[in-house]
Every structure is written in structure tokens, then in C-alpha cells.
Amino acid sequence: MARACLSLGSNLEPEAHLRSAIAALRARFGQVRVSQVYRTRAVGFDGDDFLNAAAVVETDLEPEALDAWLHALEDAHGRDRSGPRFGDRTLDVDLVLYDEGVVEGPGHLRVPRDELRHAFVLRPLAEIAPDAVEPRSGRTLAQLWATSQERDVAMEAVTGFDAA
């Protein structure tokens, strides 16, 4: 079994889509560690705020198969890939880390994800997997967050979000 660190985000009906995605992760992988949910501004375009969270799962899937499963989950939530790269999303679930491996695969599969540098990905992951190692730097997520240039980015914790 491998430990996979995931980033989740939505800015179109975000509460419903995040709840549903977390339920689907639990149905497929069993126990899922989920971070606090944060409200953040859209990055790369003008749009509604996102709700972002992170999840950690133990999986028997190889990275390519897990990535395909996550794409199917996004598609099931109405993800539209026909627009610009940076745009509104019903659901975005990215494989950020897979154990301590470096993976280059078909399509956009790249682990670790470059988006790990952004606070909306790094902060929630560092909360729930502080000991996870980013393989290119050899540093833990806790160490990366402690020295992040985005530590001051506004991220409002969403209170009362029940991911159960």
C-alpha cells in the first residue's frame, strides 16, 4: 500500500462537491485523513473563491491508475476540461505526492505536483501529513510550510464544514 497525498478544490457549488468527493474517497479507500477546509481566492484567473482541502489515502493503485480514478471522480462531478487551464471548477482533485516517488506520466501526471508551492495546497497537506517528504528537496511538508513564501496568503478556515 502506498500513501497518496491529494489536493481538493472547488469554486462551483464547492461545499456539495467537496463533501461528495470526500465521501467517494472514503467509499473507495476506507479511512481518509482530511484537512481543515479553507476559502481562498482564485489563482491565475478572476473567479469566485475556492474551497480547498487536502486528503491522505492509503492505496493499492499505482500512480497512473490512481490519477485515472481521480479524473473519473472529477468527471462524475461535471468537471469541464474544454475551457482555459485556469478557470472555474466543480471539482479538482490532484495527486500531489505518492509515497516519496517522482512520477512523470501520461497527460498532466506529474508527482510531486508543482502546485505544492501554493499555500492552498501546501498548508492543508502539511496539517495532516507533516512528515510526508517532498522527494525532490528531501524536505518534509512541515519544513516546506515553515519556510513557504506564501505563509501570509489569506486563507480563511471554513468553520462548520462537515466532511462526514
Active site residues: 79, 89, 92, 94
Q: Where are the alpha helices (DSSP H) in 30-134?
A: 63-76, 119-128
How far apart CA 11 and CA 47 sit, in angstroms, is 8
Instruction: Report the length, in residues, of the chain.
Output: 164
Burial state string for 63-84 with b = 16 or more CB within 10 A and e = fewer than 16: beebbbbbbebbeebebeeeee
Non-local (6+) Cβ contacts of 86 within 8 A are 42, 43, 44, 45
Residues paired with 139 in a beta bridge: 134
